[in-house]
Amino acid sequence: MLNIVLHEPEIPANTGNIGRTCCATGTRLHLIEPLGFVLTDKTVKRAGMDYWDKLEVFRYDDWDDFKAKNPDAKVYMATTKAKKTHTQVNYEPDCYIMFGKESAGIPEEILVDNEENCVRIPMGHDIRSLNLSNSVAVILYEALRQNDFLGLETEGNLHRLNWKE
CB 30 within 8 A of CB 136: no
- Please give the single-letter amino acid code of residue 74: K
**Which residues contribute to the annotated binding site for S-adenosyl-L-methionine?**
100, 121, 129
Q: What is the dihedral of CA 28, 33, 36, 39, to 10 degrees?
A: 50
**Which residues contribute to the annotated binding site?**
100, 121, 129
Neighbours of 81 (CB within 10 A): 13
